[in-house]
Amino acid sequence: MLHLSLFNLPLRIRIRSFFCIPLTVTVVLSSALPLPHLAFVSPSSLHHHFRRVSSSSPSKTSLSPSPSTSMASHSETFSQSQFPPPPVAEKKEHVMEMFGDVRVDNYYWLRDDSRKKPEVLSYLSQENAYVDSVMSGTKKFEDQLFAEMRGRIKEDDISAPLRKGPYYYYQRTLQGKEYVQRCRRLIPDNKAASVYDTMPNGPDAPQEHVILDENIKAQHHQYYSIDAFKVSPNNKLVAYAEDTKGDEIYTVYVIDADTGALIGEPLNGVTSYLEWAGDEALVYITMDEILRPDKAWFHKLGTEQSKDVNLYVERDDKFSLDLEASESKKYLFVASESKTTRFNFYLDVSKPEEGLKVLTPRVDGIDTTVSHRGNYFFIKRRSNQFFNSEVVACPIDDTSSVTVLLPHRESVKIQEIQLFSDHLVVYERENGLRKIIVYHLPPAGEPPSSSLQDGQAVSFIDPVYSVESSESEFSSSILRFSYSSLKTPSSVYDYDMKTGVSVLKKIDTVLGGFNASQYVTERQWASASDGTMIPISIVYRKDLVKLDGSDPLLLYGYGSYEICIDPSFKSARLSLLDRGFIYAIAHIRGGGEMGRQWYENGKLLKKKNTFTDFIACAEHLIEKKFCSKERLCIDGRSAGGLLIGAVLNMRPDLFKAAVAGVPFVDVLTTMLDPTIPLTTSEWEEWGDPRKEEFYFYMKSYSPVDNVKAQSYPHILVTAGLNDPRVMYSEPAKFVAKLRDKKTDDNILLFKCELGAGHFSKSGRFEKLQEDAFTYAFIMKSLNVVTRHGSGEA
């Protein structure tokens, strides 16, 4: 399930990324020209992990396999019979009956909400031991992959500095350290902002100040993650939300930005939705017993949490709260949202005693996201009629009087708006690709024009790519955004909205001889069973693939929550591409890549379109000779793990190997249980199986309910014991039932992280180790791991 609030959509979708150092070279671009295809440098990994919405020091020389080196693969069959028997979960009959239908779950006992029962922990440990046994023979190869991945990273690096008031703020990574330092540096003479602005680093520059070193904070924790990190308006204090288990239940600390001294007592048991209300107060959100964000609170610094003022309680269990600050920082917006409806309250930061006021009322089927400039609120509004959204404005003192600024268009989805003192930036989506359009606004004292004219578009050169908004200064004319493609490392740009000039501020460095010109990225279209054309994004190394059906291919899919899996760069993926793999993303229905209707046609009673679309993409890639069945591997996480489970039951003959990460596979049982986190809020996504029509439709695709006696490909399933989004017991039951039913001798592995949650381990190198393990499994499944530990596709 997904708490929508990355990126971000309804409750903010979280992104994990790492940061690097600004280039000393400045690249200047005219708005009339496409952004450059920058072939010379490097990557940052964008991990889109959603909930059901996710060593030794290597040499810095090139560690990737040389394409000119022939490595004869060891063709020994990868099969279960080669290894000791896998764990067998005990069967304990649990009968469930509804609508005259009887289901027997022999593995229901694996669910332990306390996560402490000895028999459950023992079984999970046995599964982990079996994983270690099966993969022990390729540990050397896994270590080689990890060394390659780590060797591409510039470990001592900083992110592109961001101006906030009198400071540059940025994150620094250190050689050998898992986590970041959060830093700032004074802006010399507080000079005016410019796209050509660079942060001085020399001996005469203002001294760097480390506000918080996560490496120190993480020392005594197996898992460590900071989500919200909010600087007060006067830049004197910082509030941050800390999770030390992976269960996404946070503790909020307020510290002095200069000394690090703790201010007051921490706020316990809260979400990461946190904003400053002026310089001396915070607004935050807490959850109910099923981890649904349901209460908004006002906290005055220096007072006890028990004395905090409750601003709002959402009692409808299909709705969850979100919290945003306007770009102007003058208002805070508390939103309550379901999967189809979103309404908003506002808090005037200068008058917090007045409490929340209604901005957009609750109307079923109307979804509004709000912001502020001058005397007006700006609103992105979606309805059943205007399904791809419109942008409207209303006076602060008359919120019912609405002026349409950007009308609805059936072929263009308005995904996000970003306000500046003189500009409106609109992130649109057309034909599956994201665009940035900049509009000049009249002076703040004047009413916005009834229709905005002559929007200025930013151009991009790759045929498929990803572009994301970034935090920018409201009072400036400089827009910051990030750009990447499947072959272009993550790049940060500052764009002057007055002149149309773009300047590259940072491109992630990829060490080890990476050259983007060696790779080809393209888009294919597969025909679904109903004739709908499904886009596929593809990348491969042009000097290594044959495109005759013999190449190995990894196909990724998600397809839920209107989430867009845009084609972005990941340096770890080069360990596949440099071995002759093709990597592809199936942009299937249920996601949002092709607009709102794309999502609507892949949810509720149309959910099976998601699975058949993915199968159609796989068949298209085989037909066009990108791969063959014997060379096709598939991957998906969370709701994408549901996708993998469903297509494995439907077409196990189509794939050689599959990876299902933290998969939502026990759909029917979970959605029937309102005590499980996220269930009630997701009835509008999957359907409410307490209604007969949804019950039987859900049962027809729920992976656990459709495992049968048939041959399955090699399968790797992962889980996190503390995962609050997809309980570890779902993949555990799926694996146990597969072991009991499947008729093949292929490998089935279940790896459960006992100290992590939905997003797996928290350290940057730990995440690379997991990528290396997954890739080793895939290549072992394809029998391309040599006796000497090398891999060749």
Enumerate the active-site residues: 638, 723, 758
The radius of gyration of the chain from alpha carbons, rounded to an integer in Å, stands at 26
Determine the distance from the C-alpha atom of residue 52 to the mean position of all C-alpha atoms in its chain, rounded to a whole number. 12
3-state secondary structure 222-288: CCCEEEEEEECCCCCEEEEEEECCCCCCEEEEEEECCCCCECCCCEEEEEEEEEECCCCEEEEEEEC
CA distances from 706 to 38, 294, 639 (A): 47, 35, 17
Helix, coil or strand: residue 791: strand
Determine the distance from the C-alpha atom of residue 487 to the mean position of all C-alpha atoms in its chain, rounded to a whole number. 19
* CA atoms 97, 103, 109, 110: torsion sign: negative
Q: For residue 137, give the DSSP letter.
A: G
d(CA 479, CA 502): 9
Parallel, antiparallel, or unpaired for β 209-213 and 180-186? Answer: antiparallel
For residues 190, 196, 200, 205, the Cα torsion angle rounded to the nearest 10 degrees is -30
d(CA 67, CA 318): 54
d(CA 284, CA 267): 9
Q: What are phi and psi of 139, to 5 degrees?
A: -60, -35
Parallel, antiparallel, or unpaired for β 357-360 and 293-300? Answer: unpaired
Parallel, antiparallel, or unpaired for β 582-586 and 95-98? Answer: unpaired
Helix, coil or strand: residue 738: helix
Contact of 44 with 355, CB cutoff 8 Å: no
d(CA 500, CA 370): 26
* Greatest distance between any 2 Cα atoms in the chain: 79
d(CA 264, CA 80): 57
Tell me which residue of 315, 275, 324 sits closest to 295, measured CA to CA.
315
Q: Give the list of residues 6+ apart from residue 79 with CB closer than 8 angstroms, or none.
A: 745, 746, 747
Contact of 127 with 751, CB cutoff 8 Å: yes
Q: What number of other Cβ atoms are within 10 A of residue 249's Cβ?
A: 20
3-state secondary structure 89-103: CCCCCCEEEECCEEE
Helix, coil or strand: residue 54: coil
Which helix (H) or strand (E) is 310 found in, with range? Answer: strand 309-313
d(CA 195, CA 411): 33
Tell me which residue of 504, 657, 510, 645 sits closest to 571, measured CA to CA.
510
Contact of 483 with 566, CB cutoff 8 Å: no
Which helix (H) or strand (E) is 192 found in, with range? Answer: none
* CA atoms 133, 137, 141, 143: torsion sign: positive
Q: What are phi and psi of 228, to 5 degrees?
A: -70, 135
* CA atoms 570, 576, 577, 578: torsion sign: positive
Burial track 587-618 (b if 16+ CB lie within 10 A, e otherwise): bbbbbbbbbbebbbbbbbeebbbbbbbbbbbb
DSSP, residue by residue, 581-644? -EEEEE--BTBSTT-HHHHHTTSGGGTHHHHHHHHHHHHHHHHTTS--GGGEEEEEETHHHHHH
